[in-house]
Amino acid sequence: MMSRDLRSDQPDVIVRSDATAAAKFVADRFAETIRSLPQCVLGLATGGTPIETYRELIRMHQEEGLDFSAVTTFNLDEYVGLGPDHPQSYRHFMRQHLLDHINIDPSRTHLPDGLATDLQGHAAEYEQQIVEAGGIDLQLLGIGHNGHIAFNEPGAAGDSRTRVVQLAEQTIEKNARFFASADEVPRTALTMGIGTILEAKRIVMLATGAGKAEAVRRALEDPADADHPASFLQTHANVTYVLDQGAASRLRL
Ligand code: F6R
């Protein structure tokens, strides 16, 4: 395991032997936050990467009594045009993989509404709801192969806010695995902006598998640049990168 001191200018990088151990580390971080601050506000992600972390949090709830009753959550993003009952909507994903299996109050769980009639107005309201909740205490992120965080694709501004975005071709192709075909993947999404994400008090980026190694290397080692949105995390004072050996395999650290 590598761990860097946050007081230095080196990033805090934790490398675990495999994806399961990395997921367990992240779940423990979340559990610590919930135990020390029962009314915490968590930022959550979808995708393949966090599923094991959510499974471990469910286990902690069921076997150890981890209590979500006062927790509030905000997800990063949602596809435009997919309602909560659509099996590929992120609301559906979150219910399936976490929310339906813990004692969280559904009214405290937030995702952007992909069916909102006024999408831009809804995006502004979402920002306002985060502010009213007191801001995000701990934000979980994954990383796209092209360096996206949430649906902030290459070119997104470092101070971008929650808004409607076009998905990159590569993202549509990668996410097609969850749909019957690439044609069915929505082309637009609502996403928290990079500026929104950078306002979280603490951030944990989880990346697993050698397929993410180059995206992780660029995020950590190349200068912060809009071509690789995850590199903007370098400007945040409290980010922990939790990697398995595959995802860490290109780091010079
Ligand atoms: C999901 C999200 C995306 C994913 C990224 C990685 O809410 O915002 O940025 O974190 O696409 O996805 P997976 O984990 O499927 O490789």
Query: How far, in Å, CA of 81 to CA of 89, rounded?
Result: 9
Task: Please say if the pLDDT value at position 7 is more than 80.
Answer: no
Going by pLDDT thresholds of 50, 70 and 90, the confidence category of residue 10 is: confident
Ligand 1 nearest atom to the CA of residue 141, by list position: 10
- Convert the pLDDT of each residue in 206-239 to its tens digit: 999 999 999 999 999 999 999 999 999 999 999 9
Average pLDDT over residues 185-193: 98
Expressed in angstroms and rounded, the spacing between residue 117 Cα and the centre of ligand 1 is 25
Average pLDDT over residues 148-163: 98
Report whether 24 contacts 14 (CB < 8 A): no
Average pLDDT over residues 118-146: 98
What does the buried/exposed string (b/e) look like for 130-142 if buried means 16 or more CB atoms within 10 Å of the residue's CB?
A: beebeebbbbbbb
Task: Please say if the pLDDT value at position 3 is more than 90.
Answer: no
* pLDDT for 5: 44
Low-confidence winner among 3-17, 84-98, 150-164, 219-233 (lowest mean pLDDT):
3-17
Ligand 1 nearest atom to the CA of residue 152, by list position: 9
Which of 51, 74, 76, 172, when mutated, tests ligand 1's pocket best, judged by the most ligand atoms within 8 Å of its CB?
Answer: 76
Query: How far, in Å, CA of 37 to CA of 251, rounded?
Result: 34
- Convert the pLDDT of each residue in 31-84 to its tens digit: 999 999 999 999 999 999 999 999 999 999 999 999 999 999 999 999 999 999
**Residue located nearest, by CA, to atom 2 of ligand 1:** 150
Expressed in angstroms and rounded, the spacing between residue 102 Cα and the centre of ligand 1 is 22
Average pLDDT over residues 126-131: 98
Ligand 1 nearest atom to the CA of residue 50, by list position: 14
What rounded mean pLDDT belongs to the chain? 96
* pLDDT for 49: 98
Whole-prediction pTM:
0.96
Q: Which residues carry out catalysis?
A: 77, 146, 148, 153
Query: How far, in Å, CA of 216 to CA of 202, rounded?
Result: 18
